[in-house]
């Protein structure tokens, strides 16, 4: 399924119709989640749909159902989480459903199939306009503040959603490759935002994947050799 156009109109949906989706549609969504392309195939993951349950935590919103993501807790699992969950976000938006990331909310089920709960979002039939009219409705930092060098995939990455719209990334482009960095946090901020910033970076990588494949190229991601940029931490490189 082609998601490139969805990137340029997708928005967070906070108001939903009360009627839950039927079981057949929910199973279709779960089946799609099982066929996603992970950033790190060696990390075990699973999606689960939560119904008839209120979620707890800051900024939780009411929805007829929620999509929860579970994972092994190992190196790069937050990056992988953002990469996989954003594929689901775009899929839902492309198929007429709304979704909203819930960065601080938690379900009662903290574990599934031996995997730890990582993140969730609300989803369902929107009770508001599903898509933006055009790119001008996005609130983003100027592209020049988060990127250097020219690459046709940058706008898609620039429009990626992030916690509190912090946009904690920086993209450095040269010779057809995009080096991805995230803001280096002090210890106090890292205790709160490190997890979210890694997930956000995974979301941006998902958009780079979609844009790369839209251009007819295979998506390839590597984390060596280590790159450096003052004030940032290296995430990895999307190759040409």
Q: What is the pLDDT of residues 4-25, one digit of tens each?
A: 999 999 999 999 999 999 999 9
Q: Where are the domains of the chain?
A: 4-124, 139-238
Residue scoring higher pLDDT (130 or 110): 130
Topology of domain 139-238, CATH: NADH Oxidase (3.40.109)
What share of the chain in percent tops pLDDT 90?
Answer: 85
pLDDT tens, residue by residue, 219-231: 999 998 889 999 9
List Cα–Cα distances, 192 to 76, 187, 235, in angstroms: 17, 9, 19
**Peptide bond between residue 92 and the one before it cis (omega within 30 degrees of 0):** no
pTM (predicted TM-score): 0.96
Could you give the CA distance from residue 81 to residue 78 in angstroms, rounded to a whole number?
5
Q: Are strands 147-148 and 169-174 parallel, antiparallel or unpaired?
A: parallel
Q: Which CATH number fits domain 4-124: 3.40.50.300, 3.40.109.10, 3.30.365.10, 3.40.190.80?
A: 3.40.109.10
The secondary structure of residue 165, as a DSSP letter, is G
């Amino acid at each position: 399924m082609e998601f490139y156009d969805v990137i340029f109109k997708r928005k967070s949906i906070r108001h939903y119709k009360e009627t839950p989706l039927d079981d057949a549609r929910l199973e279709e969504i779960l089946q799609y989640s099982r066929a996603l392309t992970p950033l790190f195939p060696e990390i075990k993951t699973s999606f689960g749909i939560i119904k008839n349950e209120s979620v707890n935590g800051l900024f939780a919103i009411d929805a007829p159902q929620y999509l929860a993501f579970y994972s092994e807790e190992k190196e790069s699992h937050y990056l992988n989480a953002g990469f996989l969950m954003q594929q689901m976000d775009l899929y839902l938006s492309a198929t007429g459903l709304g979704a909203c990331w819930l960065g601080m909310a938690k379900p009662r089920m903290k574990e599934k199939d031996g995997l730890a709960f990582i993140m969730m979002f609300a989803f369902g039939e929107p009770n508001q306009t599903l898509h933006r009219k055009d790119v001008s409705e996005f609130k983003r930092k100027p592209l020049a503040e988060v990127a250097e060098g020219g690459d046709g995939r940058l706008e898609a990455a620039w429009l990626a959603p992030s916690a509190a719209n912090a946009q904690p990334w920086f993209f450095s482009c040269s010779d057809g490759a995009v080096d991805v960095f995230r803001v280096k946090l002090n210890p106090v901020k890292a205790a709160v935002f490190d997890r979210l910033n890694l997930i956000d970076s995974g979301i941006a990588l998902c958009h780079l994947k979609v844009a790369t494949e839209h251009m007819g190229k295979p998506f390839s991601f590597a984390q060596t050799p280590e790159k450096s940029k003052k004030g940032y931490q290296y995430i990895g490189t999307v190759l040409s």
